[in-house]
A = this chain, B = another copy of it.
Amino acid sequence: MSDNLDRILAANADYSADFGDKSELAMPPARKLAILTCMDARLDPAKFAGLEEGDAHVIRNAGGRASDDAIRSLVISHKLLGTNEWYVVHHTDCGMETFTDPIMRDLLAGSLETATIDENGWRNEGSGPGSKEADQIAWLTIADLAQSVRDDVDRIKSHPLVNKSIPVRGYIYDCKSGRLEEVN
């Protein structure tokens, strides 16, 4: 059993021991919100946006991008569970700004082990095996942070399965300050 697993199970025991009326929460989000944001470890959407359990759908992936899978989740969120206000939140110092599709494909072709980055860029440390499967994947990297927010808001708003009445707002979360700044 890993140290992480021990800690997770101990924390979960504490959390569930004082679960209170959270057992009565309904499936549809009470505040009818959905937030799409990055998987980045520094971001806690419940904390930075003030969400309690039961309030909002939270969708997260590498970059907080409006991928096909994020759109799948958002459409389910509105169509079946009634959210009607959506937020896209990218953030400063995002890992998705540090590479490009060709860089990722080269790295993964060489090795599946974790790579390292320095002033010369990404470099494989581990040895093989690698895989060319990465060539088939769009990694959804970010070249310009504000533009990536605008692109994703636009992609969501213009998707044929998205109800046009849903407001979709874009924000950048600043990892240095914890503040949300709107992107227009």
Contact = CB atoms under 8 A, between A and B. Distances in A.
Nearest to A12: B180
Contacts of A95: 27, 76, 80-81
Contacts of A22: 42, 178
Contacts of A154: none
A108 B49 contact: no
A146 interface: no
Interface in A29-72: 29-34, 39-44, 46-51, 53-62, 67-70, 72
> How many residues of A sit at the interface, in one of the four size bands?
35 or more
B49 A41 contact: no
Given A19-B178, A179-B12, A169 B108 contact: no
A47 B54 CA distance: 13
Interface of A: 2, 4-5, 7-16, 19, 22-23, 25, 27-34, 39-44, 46-51, 53-62, 67-70, 72-73, 75-82, 84-85, 87, 93, 95-96, 98-99, 104, 107-108, 112-115, 117, 122, 131, 133-134, 137, 139-140, 159-164, 167, 169, 175-180
